[in-house]
Amino acid sequence: MTEQPKKKLFIKTYGCQMNVYDSERMAEAMGGSGYERTDTAEGADMILLNTCHIREKAAEKVYSELGRLKPLKTLNPDLKIGVAGCVAQAEGEEILARQPIVDMVVGPQSYHRLPELAAGGRAAVLTEFDEDKFAHLPARPSPTRGPAAFLTVQEGCDKFCAFCVVPYTRGAEVSRPVARVIGEAEGLARQGVREITLLGQNVNAYHGADGDATRSLGWLVRRLARIEGIERIRYTTSHPNDMEDDLIAAHGDCPELMPYLHLPVQSGSDRMLKAMNRRHTAESYLALIGRLRAARPDLALSGDFIVGFPGETDADFEDTMSLVRAVHYAQAYSFKYSARPGTPAAERDPVAPDVADARLQTLQALLAEQQAEAQAAMVGRETRVLVEKAGRLPGQLAGKSEHLHAVHFEADLPKGEIARVRIVEAGSHSLRGEAIGG
């Protein structure tokens, strides 16, 4: 029997690491229906837009992209176009109404049903939260990210920050069962993965889904560290209120847990934190940072900040600047507040755009200065780099340090090797090193 040629699947991914993971799982789900991923939309048999709804005008960007795809549908009427992810969850039927070229609208909890939608003959919307998609997804083939891979362990959010749509698009906090997480991690290790990043909207809210509250993220990190082949573990994104004692301790006593932590705070003003419904204070956040650094003194910290939140004054903004100076971030992400429809903050009077712009520039200048200092502090130090790919120059390799720095150096090593490297030069976004012992 002649084997049928593979159909081409193009996925465009917007947003966070969880969407990157979801796109990989979508491709794997469609693999059983005869599809393989392609890097271009032209000539594809199916196009999926895996969307993010966090930033302003996210939906309009999706509609704009769909407009650009319309000629491809004209050329190939059999082309299937789907919108997945958080914009799909938020917009639902409206997407089909506004863009008739769309065949499928699939929320982030329903993408395991993509194969049946692709086989159907009429446009469909699936945005339910009523089943565990992971129980229906196929076993994972070889990962596409080489020696480092993402692994979702928790989804959803119960925090209801006043600016955020995640509780509405991703649903309530749900943890994956321990056995399934371990099984997926063991499968990745067999396929050559040496570093796993555990993902969740509030990943440190993980609690096993087995009815055992002791199976926390700290417990899971230690359990995964016992898997042969797994030498590095990271996790993101965390909430300060879910940073439990055993996870803090793991930063000091589990060598596989890398010394890098993304811990968003959003503001240094207690008044703004209350308005954001963050349920922690600047003082409690700084105390938490102190405990983490006591457990792991070389811990590199990253954070998220929103400036121009409704009601923010000059004094509130200065409190944020003071917190940044106190923490000294190795890396951070900062944004001007953008109203998300349906969230409590969207109904409040905004800060004047020019004021918010000026504050953002001031904050980003300080964060850039701190990042440059953190990069420069690496010069002369030895680090261990996981080789992920070839560099831009002949003989050059590129990978990540324990502290998540991008490092390039020259050596004759295979992908997946962990090399000892001495840093000799710091750039704004990467480090240059020399291999030690070869």
User: Which residues are part of a known binding site for [4Fe-4S] cluster?
Assistant: 16, 52, 86, 157, 161, 164
| Secondary structure percentages of the chain, helix, strand, coil, to 5 | 35, 25, 40
Which contacts qualify for 65-73: CB closer than 8 Å, 24 or more apart?
65/12, 66/99, 66/101, 66/102, 67/99, 69/41, 69/101, 70/101, 72/41, 72/42, 72/44, 72/47, 73/101
Q: Report the C-alpha gap between 278 and 235 in whole angstroms.
A: 20
Non-local (6+) Cβ contacts of 94 within 8 A are none
Of 373, 225, 382, the residue nearest 301 (C-alpha): 373
Report the half-sphere exposure of 270 (CA within 13 A, side-chain side): 6
The enclosing H or E element of 90 equals helix 86-91
Q: Report the C-alpha gap between 247 and 245 in whole angstroms.
A: 5
Axis-axis angle for helices 314-327, 353-376 (nearest 10): 10
Under 8 Å between Cβ of 263 and 302: yes
CA angle 40, 44, 47 (to 5 degrees): 85
Annotated binding site: 16, 52, 86, 157, 161, 164
Cis peptide before 152, with omega less than 30 degrees from 0?
no
Under 8 Å between Cβ of 47 and 80: yes
Of 378, 381, 390, the residue nearest 417 (C-alpha): 390
Report the half-sphere exposure of 74 (CA within 13 A, side-chain side): 6
Alpha helices in 170-281 (DSSP H): 178-190, 217-224, 245-253, 270-275
Under 8 Å between Cβ of 185 and 199: no
Of 124, 24, 120, 52, the residue nearest 82 (C-alpha): 124
Q: Report the C-alpha gap between 249 and 218 in whole angstroms.
A: 8
Cβ burial, residue 214 (10 Å; 0-12/13-18/19+): exposed
Both tokens of residue 202? 């509030």
